[in-house]
Structure 1
Amino acid sequence: MTVQEQTDQGVVLTDGAASKVKALLDQEGRDDLQLRIAVQPGGCSGLRYQLFFDERSLDGDIVQDFSGVNVVVDRMSAPYLTGATIDFVDTIEKQGFTIDNPNAGGSCACGDSFH
Structure 2
Amino acid sequence: MTVSGETTQETTQQGVILTDAAAEKARGLLEQEGRDDLALRVAVQPGGCSGLIYQLFFDEREMDGDQVQEFDGLSVRVDRMSAPYLTGATIDFVDSIEKQGFTIDNPNASGSCACGDSFN
**TM-score normalised by structure 2 residue count:** 0.90
Give the C-alpha shift of residue 29 in structure 1.
Answer: 0.2
Partner of 1:101: 106
| Structure 1: gaps (5+ residues) | none
Alignment of 1:1-115 (within 5 A): 5=7, 7-115=12-120
Aligned length: 112
Percentage of pairs with the same residue: 79
| Structure 2: gaps (5+ residues) | 1-5
Secondary structure at the aligned position of 2:98 is classed as coil
Looking at structure 1, the residues matched to 55 and 85 of structure 2 have their Cα atoms a distance apart, in angstroms, of 12
Partner amino acid, structure 2, of 1:44: C
RMSD: 1.2
Looking at structure 1, the residues matched to 56 and 72 of structure 2 have their Cα atoms a distance apart, in angstroms, of 18
Looking at structure 2, the residues matched to 112 and 10 of structure 1 have their Cα atoms a distance apart, in angstroms, of 21
> For residues 50-88 of structure 1, what are the alpha-carbon distances to aligned partners after superposition, in whole Å with 9 as ceiling and x for unaligned?
000000000000000011111100000000000000000
Looking at structure 2, the residues matched to 55 and 111 of structure 1 have their Cα atoms a distance apart, in angstroms, of 28
Looking at structure 2, the residues matched to 8 and 107 of structure 1 have their Cα atoms a distance apart, in angstroms, of 22
Partner of 2:3: none
Looking at structure 2, the residues matched to 36 and 74 of structure 1 have their Cα atoms a distance apart, in angstroms, of 8
> For residues 28-64 of structure 1, what are the alpha-carbon distances to aligned partners after superposition, in whole Å with 9 as ceiling and x for unaligned?
0000000000000010000000000000000000000
